């Protein structure tokens, strides 16, 4: 029998070669790593724990506890060491209070973009000017800033502040405090208070006075509004639900009203080291109403995402894709993330002097 | 035209894992004309099944030529006119007879298959079980179904390996009649069977395969006739002793005598018998059955 | 035509096998149980609550399509790999049974070429696996679409990917059955190709585990011809996650997988043609 050419084997060899070629084309360049989920600030992280410990620099005395019957009453109370900044913060739960970790923000991508944008818009370096005029370098000397409706509180290396240049009367307050009352107004609408070269409070006179009093220890130590365990994130704060009502207008006004009714306390935390991720923890006296509010907010976010997609607002749709409501004991958390790529796109529109502001 | 042609057909199965190669066919020359009923017989291991598979293209010959209805067995076209019933038969157990026959009809590309299927189901007595799963069939039913598959499409050549295996005697009669009808319409029959009586009843030509070679082949009648044995009958006055002395032997079966010898010796013995007073009544060459023919061919003493 | 006829016979036989019917019944029961027991509360397009047989799963409240993405991704992987494993187990004995003495001889005596038998068996099995995968994938697709209003084609894409991925797997199983008529060996070869395909789909990552040099080169070379089955599995997941799928790369991947299967089948044809029955 004549040997037959084994065509199927030849075909197999050829096909394997073609397959290898096609499969190599399918691989192409290595796919980029899947984008990491934004880092939502939900609790104190290791670095923040160490930061909290490092900030406990002010020894304070506890209010004397009732002495037991057998005690002689001679032993002094041991001093506690506290963070003076947290001690200085207002304690009215009915008013908003937001703290920015300026030092951390300066090193975040958001901070970098912000500084670059400001310098481009102004066409000069306003931070250097502030250092020359006021003696404070905003980018180096300020560690934290607290915002309230009544004033702001700065914490940092503030001993070089040129406060004597302001025409004012200087009054002492407590052991380490000073109050600068401007001569231009009587009665003054705002004053400036300093404490040990670490804290500057600027705002209404009673705001400044009460701030220095809390540091002096001359007010009873009742519950602070932002305890240490809530100082996580590059920005954090506590606002009453009513404070957010004004943000909801038009069709969303009813939602704003529900927030005001149901949420007596909203804790805010923002992580901005890369993506901007915000966690808002809602709590209220009526658990059922709070839970309903969470459902309504989740629905509003989903609906907003659909509307944004339909209207072609891709940035907003992308923002809301990361939004969710997480239910928990006693309330819920609203999580919202802004990918850094979106932030960079917003700031890419930041141009020279006189240009419109960057943003969505 | 020749339905089957084999010339020098050889097949050696290569030994695997150190086993010796096995020569199943050692140069088979065989022609089967169209319209004939040919029976291939031989002892176990003679190569009959291998020969059948070689002419159907199921095994590749090591040497020689095989032709099937004038074409190459590897070509589907001649196989379109062949109906094959293998010795071992298996069907998909989950399908019923109709589904299996439809499948065969599809692969044979039959036009109007349903009519042909109905006819074969009736012919082979499968009507009652046609809707049952093949896995529930007895051996006999499977054999009938196999025959129905082979007969589907009125093939020009029927290659049947043990066609009546597992069938009761009455069913065998039916099958023989069926095959006779197929022959009558002009089909060629190639039969491989151990039942020599069946082969004798159906076939007109015989081939004897021993040790991978055809040792005898020809018309059945011619093979059964003996060239040197005679059956003789004398009248009732014949005496046994003088007949035995003349060289006659009593017949093994029935009345009469037999004589082994060529015609000259036969004539001399008849003369001596006549002189002893025995009158010849009947003289004929003795016909052997196929078993005897096979024994002779194989060389087994009777 | 012959190929289709063989495939049709195989499907008819599969349909009447009881355990295939049992599998379909089981899959339908699971889908029905999930349909009854899983409830989603969708409010303004947000997934407000998820309940499984009455128990609240305390899921987050977020856009329902985003919230369900992990579910769709997981379902896609289940459909893909489950479909492949089902295919291997369910079809391992088709070829060995077809090649059994008493079954193959009358088939090969019919007017067809041997490669028709191989191709028809392959095609029939592929259709069977595609049908099974689509049944599962489409079931989940319809179920979640009705319950949530989200039409996510991920499970369907996964079913189609599974059918493509099964081609080289079954080609290897068929070729193995021609060498050794054993359902166990056939299934084993299918699993081997599946594992090899998973490795090949991650070869860039796995290659870095090897020391640069001969061992890495050997690994890269050996896996170059293997179908990237895990890459096919990721397609359904990508569709589920609303991630982009590069059309060109997808086409090359599918074509390469199909050509590999043809190559193995060609080896099978050679083996089949030379085999005595």
Give the model's pLDDT for residue A1: 42
| Residue A65 scores a pLDDT above 70 | no
Number of B to C CB contacts under 8 A, please give it: 81
CB A145 within 8 A of CB A153: yes
Give the model's pLDDT for residue A164: 72
Give the model's pLDDT for residue C251: 92
Give the model's pLDDT for residue B77: 93
Q: Which positions in chain B touch C277 (Cβ < 8 Å)?
A: 53, 58-59
Residues ≥6 apart with Cβ < 8 Å to C60:
A298, A324, A325, A326, A327, C47, C67
Span B167-186, average pLDDT: 88
Give the model's pLDDT for residue B155: 94
Q: Give the chains touching A; criterion: ≥3 Cβ pairs < 8 Å.
A: B, C
Number of A to C CB contacts under 8 A, please give it: 134
Q: Is B73 on the interface with A (CB under 8 A)?
A: no
How many whole angstroms separate alpha carbon A247 and alpha carbon A256?
7
If pLDDT is split at 50, 70 and 90, which confidence band does C83 have?
confident
The residues in A 275-314 lying below 8 A from B, measured between CB atoms, are none
How many whole angstroms separate alpha carbon A54 and alpha carbon A28?
50
The DSSP annotation for A274-309 comes to SSEEEEEEEE-S-HHHHHHHHHHHHHHHHHHHHHHH
Interior/surface letters B147-169, b for 16+ CB within 10 angstroms, e for the rest = bbbbbbbebbbbbbbbbbbbbee
H runs (alpha helix) in chain A: 7-27, 46-54, 84-88, 102-106, 109-122, 126-134, 205-216, 241-244, 253-262, 287-311, 314-321, 340-348
User: pLDDT digit string (tens) for C5-50?
Assistant: 999 988 888 887 776 777 777 778 877 877 777 777 666 666 666 7
- List residues bridging with B208 in a β-sheet: B41, B216
Report percent pLDDT > 90 for chain C.
45
| Residue A352 scores a pLDDT above 70 | no
DSSP-derived 3-state class of residue A80 = strand
How many whole angstroms separate alpha carbon A313 and alpha carbon A309?
6
Candidates A17, A124, A65, A166; CA nearest to C225 is A17
User: pLDDT digit string (tens) for A153-179?
Assistant: 999 988 888 877 677 788 888 888 889
CB B152 within 8 A of CB B117: yes
Q: Which positions in chain C touch A30 (Cβ < 8 Å)?
A: 204
Preceding omega of C216 cis (within 30 degrees of 0)? no
Give the model's pLDDT for residue A68: 55
Span C195-214, average pLDDT: 90
Compute φ and ψ for A189, nearest 5 degrees: -90, -20
Residues ≥6 apart with Cβ < 8 Å to B123:
B148, B151, B178
User: pLDDT digit string (tens) for B32-77?
Assistant: 999 999 999 988 888 999 999 999 999 999 999 999 999 999 999 9
Residues ≥6 apart with Cβ < 8 Å to B76:
C110, C111, C112, C113
Are B79 and C17 a contacting pair at CB < 8 A?
A: no
Interior/surface letters A260-274, b for 16+ CB within 10 angstroms, e for the rest = bebbbbbbbbbbbbe
Q: Give the chains touching C; criterion: ≥3 Cβ pairs < 8 Å.
A: A, B
CB A269 within 8 A of CB A38: no
User: pLDDT digit string (tens) for A305-337?
Assistant: 888 888 887 777 777 887 888 888 788 899 988
Nearest to B76 among C18, C106, C111 (CB): C111
Q: Which positions in chain A touch C255 (Cβ < 8 Å)?
A: 22
If pLDDT is split at 50, 70 and 90, which confidence band does A73 have?
low
User: pLDDT digit string (tens) for B118-157?
Assistant: 999 998 989 988 889 998 999 889 999 999 999 999 999 9
Q: Which positions in chain A touch C256 (Cβ < 8 Å)?
A: 18-23, 25-26
| Residue A274 scores a pLDDT above 70 | yes
Q: Is the pTM higher than 0.80?
A: no
Q: Give the chains touching B; criterion: ≥3 Cβ pairs < 8 Å.
A: A, C
The DSSP annotation for C6-36 comes to HHHHHHHHHHT-HHHHHHHHHHHHHHHHHHH
User: pLDDT digit string (tens) for C105-120?
Assistant: 999 999 999 999 999 9
Q: Which positions in chain A touch C226 (Cβ < 8 Å)?
A: 23
DSSP-derived 3-state class of residue A11 = helix
How many whole angstroms separate alpha carbon C12 and alpha carbon B103?
10
Stretch among A59-68, A283-292, C128-137 having the lowest mean pLDDT: A59-68
How many whole angstroms separate alpha carbon C72 and alpha carbon C150?
10
Candidates A78, A84, A81, A50; CA nearest to A65 is A78
Are C228 and A23 a contacting pair at CB < 8 A?
A: yes
If pLDDT is split at 50, 70 and 90, which confidence band does B85 have?
very high
Span A19-33, average pLDDT: 76
Are C43 and A299 a contacting pair at CB < 8 A?
A: yes
Candidates A247, A343, A226, A230; CA nearest to A297 is A247
How many whole angstroms separate alpha carbon A164 and alpha carbon A169?
10
How many whole angstroms separate alpha carbon C90 and alpha carbon C20?
8
Q: Which positions in chain B touch A1 (Cβ < 8 Å)?
A: 60-63
How many whole angstroms separate alpha carbon A131 and alpha carbon A142?
11
If pLDDT is split at 50, 70 and 90, which confidence band does A355 have?
very low
Closest-CA distance, C204 to chain A, in angstroms, reads 8
Are B58 and C109 a contacting pair at CB < 8 A?
A: yes
CB C228 within 8 A of CB A26: yes
Stretch among A66-75, A177-186, B242-251 having the lowest mean pLDDT: A66-75
Specify the higher pLDDT residue, A167 or C157. C157
A103-to-A52, A115, A137, A313 alpha-carbon distances in Å: 14, 13, 12, 33
Cα angle at B79 between B73 and B80, to 5 degrees? 155
Q: Is B173 on the interface with A (CB under 8 A)?
A: no
Report residue A141 CA to chain centroid gap: 19
C64-to-A19, A328, B8, C195, C235 alpha-carbon distances in Å: 41, 19, 78, 35, 21
Q: Which positions in chain C touch B76 (Cβ < 8 Å)?
A: 110-113
């Amino acid at each position: 029998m004549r040997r037959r050419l084994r065509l199927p084997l030849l075909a197999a060899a050829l096909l394997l070669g073609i397959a290898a070629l096609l499969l190599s084309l399918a691989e192409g360049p290595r796919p980029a790593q899947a984008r990491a989920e934004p880092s939502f600030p939900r609790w104190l992280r290791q670095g923040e724990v160490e930061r909290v410990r490092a900030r406990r620099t002010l020894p304070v005395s506890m209010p004397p506890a009732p002495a037991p019957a057998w005690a002689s009453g001679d032993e002094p109370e041991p001093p506690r060491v506290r963070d003076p900044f947290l001690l200085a913060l207002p304690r009215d739960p009915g008013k908003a209070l937001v703290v920015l970790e300026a030092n951390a923000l300066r090193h975040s991508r958001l901070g970098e973009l912000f500084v670059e944008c400001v310098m481009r818009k102004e066409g000069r370096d306003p931070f250097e000017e502030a250092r020359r005029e006021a003696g404070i370098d905003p980018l180096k000397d300020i560690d934290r800033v607290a915002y309230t409706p009544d004033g702001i509180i700065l914490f940092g290396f503030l001993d070089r502040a040129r406060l004597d240049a302001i025409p004012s009367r200087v009054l002492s307050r407590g052991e380490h405090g000073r109050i600068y009352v401007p001569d231009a107004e009587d009665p003054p609408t705002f004053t400036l208070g300093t404490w040990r070269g670490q804290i500057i409070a600027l705002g209404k006179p009673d705001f400044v006075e009460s701030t220095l009093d809390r540091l002096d220890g001359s007010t009873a130590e009742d519950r602070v509004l932002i305890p240490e365990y809530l100082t996580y994130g590059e920005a954090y704060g506590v606002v009453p639900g009513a404070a957010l009502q004004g943000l909801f207008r038009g069709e969303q006004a009813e939602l704003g009203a529900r927030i005001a009714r149901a949420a007596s306390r909203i804790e805010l935390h923002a992580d901005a080291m890369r993506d901007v991720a915000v966690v808002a923890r809602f709590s209220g006296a009526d658990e059922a109403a709070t839970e309903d509010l969470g459902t309504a907010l989740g629905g509003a976010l989903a609906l907003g995402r659909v509307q944004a997609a339909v209207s072609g607002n891709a940035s907003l749709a992308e923002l809301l894709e990361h939004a969710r409501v997480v239910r928990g004991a006693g309330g819920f958390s609203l999580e919202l993330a802004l990918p850094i790529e979106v932030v960079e796109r917003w700031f890419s529109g930041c141009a020279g002097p006189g240009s419109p502001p960057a943003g969505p | 035209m020749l339905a089957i042609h084999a010339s020098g057909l050889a097949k050696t199965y290569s030994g695997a894992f150190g086993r010796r190669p096995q020569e199943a066919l050692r140069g088979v020359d065989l022609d089967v004309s169209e319209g004939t009923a040919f029976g291939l017989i031989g002892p176990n291991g003679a190569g009959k099944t291998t020969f059948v598979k070689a002419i159907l293209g199921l095994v590749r010959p090591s040497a020689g030529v095989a032709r099937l209805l004038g074409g190459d067995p590897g070509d589907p076209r001649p196989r379109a006119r062949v109906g094959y019933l293998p010795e071992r038969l298996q069907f998909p157990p989950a399908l019923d007879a109709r589904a299996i026959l439809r499948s065969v009809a599809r692969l044979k590309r039959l036009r109007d298959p349903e009519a042909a299927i109905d006819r074969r189901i009736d012919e082979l007595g499968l009507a009652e079980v046609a809707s049952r799963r093949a896995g529930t069939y007895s051996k006999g039913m499977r054999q009938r179904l196999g025959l129905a598959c082979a007969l589907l499409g009125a093939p020009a050549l029927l290659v049947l390996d043990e066609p009546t295996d597992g069938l009761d005697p009455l069913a065998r009669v039916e099958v023989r009649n069926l095959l006779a009808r197929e022959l009558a319409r002009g089909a060629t029959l190639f039969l491989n069977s151990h039942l020599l009586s069946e082969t004798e009843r159906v076939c007109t030509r015989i081939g004897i395969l021993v040790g991978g070679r055809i040792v005898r082949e020809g018309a059945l009648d011619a093979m059964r006739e003996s060239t040197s044995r005679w059956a003789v009958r004398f009248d009732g006055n014949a005496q046994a002793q003088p007949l035995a002395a003349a060289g006659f032997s009593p017949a093994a079966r029935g009345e009469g005598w037999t004589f082994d010898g060529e015609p000259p010796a036969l004539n001399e013995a008849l003369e001596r018998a006549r002189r002893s007073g025995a009158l010849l009544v009947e003289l004929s060459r003795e016909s052997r059955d196929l078993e005897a023919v096979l024994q002779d061919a194989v060389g087994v003493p009777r | 035509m012959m190929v289709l006829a063989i495939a049709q016979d195989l499907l008819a036989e599969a349909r009447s096998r009881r355990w295939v019917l049992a599998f379909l019944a089981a899959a339908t029961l699971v889908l029905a149980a999930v349909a009854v027991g899983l409830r989603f509360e969708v409010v303004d397009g947000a997934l407000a609550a998820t309940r499984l047989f009455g128990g609240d799963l305390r899921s987050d409240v977020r856009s329902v399509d985003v919230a369900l993405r992990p579910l769709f991704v997981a379902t896609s992987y289940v459909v893909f790999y489950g479909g492949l494993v089902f295919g291997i187990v369910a079809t391992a004995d088709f070829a060995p049974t077809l090649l059994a003495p008493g079954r193959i001889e009358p088939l090969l005596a019919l007017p067809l070429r041997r490669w028709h038998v191989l191709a028809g068996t392959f095609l029939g099995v592929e259709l069977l696996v595609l049908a099974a995968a689509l049944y599962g994938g489409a079931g989940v697709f319809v179920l979640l679409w009705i319950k949530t209003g989200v039409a996510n084609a991920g499970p369907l894409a996964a079913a189609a990917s599974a059918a493509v991925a099964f081609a080289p797997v079954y080609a290897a199983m068929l070729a193995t059955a021609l060498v050794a008529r054993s359902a166990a060996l056939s299934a084993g070869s299918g699993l081997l190709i599946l594992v090899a395909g998973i490795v090949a789909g991650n070869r860039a990552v796995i290659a870095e585990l090897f020391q640069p040099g001969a061992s890495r080169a050997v690994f890269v070379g050996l896996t170059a011809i293997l179908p990237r089955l895990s890459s096919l599995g990721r397609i359904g997941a990508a569709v589920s996650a609303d991630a982009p799928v590069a059309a060109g790369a997808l086409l090359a991947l599918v074509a390469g997988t199909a050509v590999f299967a043809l190559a193995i089948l060609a080896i099978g044809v050679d083996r089949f043609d030379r085999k005595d029955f």
